[in-house]
Amino acid sequence: MRMYDIIEKKRDGEELTRDEIRYFIDGYTKGDIPDYQASALMMATYLKDMTTEERAELTTAMVESGDQIDLSAIEGIKVDKHSTGGVGDTTTLVLAPLVASVGVPVAKMSGRGLGHTGGTIDKLEAIPGFHVEISNEEFINLVNRNKAAVIGQSGNLTPADKKLYSLRDVTATVSSIPLIASSIMSKKIASGADAIVLDVKTGAGAFMKDLEDAKDLAQAMVAIGNRVGRKTMAVISDMSQPLGYAVGNALEVKEAIDTLQGDGPEDLTELCIALGSQMVLLAGQAENMGEAREKLEQAIASGKAFEQFKLFIESQGGDPAVVDNPSLLPQAAHKIELPAEKSGTVAEIIADEIGTSAMMLGAGRATKESKIDLAVGIVLHKKIGDYVKKGEPLLTIHSNQEKISDIKERLYASIKITDNDQEAPPLVYDTISQ
């Protein structure tokens, strides 16, 4: 087999075979196939697309390019949730204990934040003592005992994806549906879940800014998952404005605690119930979505979900007193309100700009090496569709810096107030199960 022939075949729009895809992934991972040939194939794929069959083969080849996590020692159907990334996306902190409390085992491998989006591990580390540096054995024991545990990414997972992603990043081939879908799904499958629920975000703060692109990506990922034997479902949700009110690590932990107590923002609560119902259904813990939803609502109302969160925090070294008393979380020195400059209805809160502002305060990383400040961030008081009076606070900035005029300016520029009526955007646009 020759790489030249594979590139030529894809260039002419033909379908690659399983063996050809394997030859490429194995050779490229080992370093036998050079970057210039790999980038030619990536560009040909970008332009000519791949069939569902090819996408599934590419995903499987990438999964098998490195280690795979074996979760078979955990009892029950393991369901993982993946979000394509957003601003103030507090869902994992709520979902893990919520679905665990109704019997779904949650064995979660999570990452740290980069750029304008946050990472679940950073958020959890805002709780004093909480740590994710646990052995695989301890991780599995914790899930079997308490139904939920979170671990950091470790081991040599999908090395082919790491290499290809870096290459795509510099060859204008990132935004290709078959390539994104196989990249995301390979990581999820290698992490060992039996079933996968995807939260595909759309809007200004999302990777897929356009709704049709988000639907195409969701459909592509659901098709790959189901083809390789992992039941997969997807929700397309809004990321034009941040999710919930809080953006920032400790601030989002407090928001998660409120939500688990039934006192959270409406949109965050609803998205957690929507995603959680799919997880419960895939785990075989309910007959239908209605029953799944009812179970989750009851778990919040009865305090079961909240108790599960406390157990989860405590079992990974976190101070459980914080869960009862969130004022023990790291606090910023300054709380600065941003008053509305005019009266009207909030028409826009550009999510990625809010995320970037939070990052500039220190809540997120500009580069992988940046240190973050767990206490700082932004708490919105208004969302799209809300009426605001001139002088009323739009949001509160939690800062450890005193001079933040550039950040204030950026925030003002990212919130638009209109004299006209403006409806809130839908939270969930679509649900995709095949």
* 32 labelled catalytic: no
Q: Which helix (H) or strand (E) holds 57?
A: helix 52-63
Check 22, 187, 201, 304 and give the catalytic one: 187
In the complex, which residues of this chain contact Ca ion (CB under 5 A)? 88, 90, 243-244, 246
Q: Please, what's the b/e burial string for 209-245 (b: 16 or more CB within 10 A of its CB; e: otherwise)?
A: eebebbbbbbbbbbbbbbbbebbbbbbbbbbbbbbbb
Binding piece for ligand URA, criterion CB under 6 A, among 130-138, 178-186, 275-283, 402-410: 178-186
> Phi and psi (nearest 5°) for 141?
-60, -40
Query: Which of ligand URA, Ca ion, none is residue 183 near (CB under 5 to 8 Å by kind)?
Result: ligand URA
Residue reference for tokens 């932004």: 378
Q: Measuring CA to CA, which residue among 346, 329, 340, 355 is closest to residue 246? A: 355
Query: Which of Ca ion, ligand URA, none is residue 244 near (CB under 5 to 8 Å by kind)?
Result: Ca ion
Rule CB under 6 A: say whether 165 interacts with ligand URA: yes
User: Alpha-carbon distance 428 to 203, whole Å?
Assistant: 12
Residue reference for tokens 């688990």: 260
How many helices (H) and strands (E) the chain has is answered by: 17, 13
Comparison of 22 and 201: residue with beta carbon closer to Ca ion: 201
* 168 labelled catalytic: yes
Tokens of 133: 């540096």
* 368 labelled catalytic: no
Rule CB under 6 A: say whether 114 interacts with ligand URA: no
Binding piece for ligand URA, criterion CB under 6 A, among 142-150, 174-182, 337-345, 381-389: 174-182
Rule CB under 6 A: say whether 183 interacts with ligand URA: yes
* Among positions 157, 184, 275, 338, the unique one binding ligand URA when judged by CB under 6 A: 184
Residues in the chain: 434
* 187 labelled catalytic: yes
Query: Which of Ca ion, ligand URA, none is residue 246 near (CB under 5 to 8 Å by kind)?
Result: Ca ion
* 55 labelled catalytic: no
Size, binding site for ligand URA by CB under 6 A: 7
Tokens of 402: 């005193």
* CA distances (Å), origin 12, targets 45, 49, 56, 174: 10, 11, 20, 21
Catalytic site positions: 82, 161, 168, 183, 187
Which residues here bind ligand URA, judged by CB under 6 A? 165, 174, 179-180, 183-184, 207
